[in-house]
Copies of this chain bind each other. A is one copy, B any other.
Amino acid sequence: MFTGLSAFPLTPTDESGIDELAFVRLISRLAAAGVDSIGALGSTGGYAYLSREQRAWAARAAVEAAGITPVIVGIGALRTRQVLDLAADAHAAGAAGVLLAPMTYQPLNDDEVFGLYEAVTAELTIPLVVYDNPGTTHVAFSDELHGRIAALPNVGSIKIPGLTATAARARIAALRAVIPPHVTIGVSGDWLAIGGLLGGADAWYSVLGGLFPETAMSITRAAQAGDSTAAVAASDQLEPLWALFRRHGSLRVMSAAAETLGLAASPNLPLPLLGLDPVARTELNATLRELGLGN
C-alpha cells in the first residue's frame, strides 16, 4: 500500500466547521483518478486544527468516498493518550493505515519520540507511516532514531522531508541500511519529490496529488517506469507552482487553488491561518492557467 502516489487532500474548514460536501468531493476525485492511496487528515488535511469528533467523521467519510483506494489517516496530537484514541477511531473508520507525526509544544527528546511510537504501535492492528516533518513538528529524526522506530511492530513506511536529489539518494540509502526491508520510504516536499523518486524512494506523499492527481500521477508513473527524463521534465515544468509552494507554503497555495477550481469555498482554512493574499492569488491563477491546471 505504501508505494507509488499517495495523495494528500485538503479538509476544507472554516469557523463553522468542515465543509463536508467539499471534502467528500475531493476524496472522490482522487479515487476516480486512480491514485495508489489517499492520505486523509495529513498536514494539508489540517488534522492539527480539528477536534476528535471532526477527525472521526472525516476518517469515516474518506474511507467511504475512497471505495477500493486505501486511506491512510493522520492521527497526530500533542498527547500520547490522544493519539491512542485517534488511532482507535481511524481503525474503526476502516482506515488501511495511519500516519503519525510527533507533534510538539515542548521540544521532545529522542526517548520521548520513540516512546510515543512504541506506545501507539503496540496498540495498532493496521500499519503506521512514520511522519518525519520537521517544518511542522520541529523534531529532527536521526537515521538512528528512524531505525529504532522502524523496528517496532506495525511500522509500514517512513515519510521523509524533501531533499535535493543527491541528498535524497544518500539519505534513502542510509535509512535502508537501518530499517527492515518491509518498511517503505516515501518522500514529501513536492518540489523536491522528483529527486527522491529517482533516488530510490518507494512512494511520494504528495500535496500536489491531493488536488491535481493526474499531474502527480504522470510524474510518479514516469519515475516508476525508469523514464527519468520524462519524470524530471514533468516536475520541472511545474517550477512556477513550486516557487509559490516555497514562498507561501503548499497548504495556502492548494487552499487557494481549490477555490479557483470551484472545489472549496473561501475561506477554507481555520483561523489563524489565512488564505493567499490577493497579489499571490493573482499570480497563482496565472500560473495555473499557463500550466493547463486552471479552469
Contacts and interface: CB of A to CB of B under 8 A. Distances in A.
Q: Is the interface of A mostly helix, strand, loop or mixed?
A: loop
Given A106-B249, A106-B251, A249-B107, A112 B80 contact: no
B48 A271 contact: no
B78 A48 contact: yes
Interface residues on A, range: 20 to 34
A57 interface: no
A15 B43 CA distance: 26
A138 interface: yes
Interface string A119-145: 100000000000000011010000000
Interface in A92-132: 102-109, 111-113, 115-116, 119
Copies in the complex: 2
Interface of A: 15, 43, 48-49, 78-81, 102-109, 111-113, 115-116, 119, 135-136, 138, 249, 251, 270-274, 277
Nearest to A50: B79
Given A49-B78, A103-B105, A105-B43, A115 B249 contact: no
A248 to B, nearest CB: 8
Contacts of A107: 135-136, 249
A103 B48 CA distance: 11
Closest 8 CB pairs of A and B: A48-B105, A80-B271, A116-B272, A112-B272, A80-B272, A105-B136, A112-B274, A79-B270
Nearest to A105: B48
A84 B109 CA distance: 32
Given A106-B43, A136-B107, A79 B272 contact: yes
B273 A108 contact: yes
Contacts of A116: 271-272
A122 to B, nearest CB: 13
A246 to B, nearest CB: 12
11 contacts: A15-B81, A48-B105, A49-B78, A80-B270, A106-B273, A108-B272, A111-B274, A112-B273, A112-B274, A115-B272, A115-B274
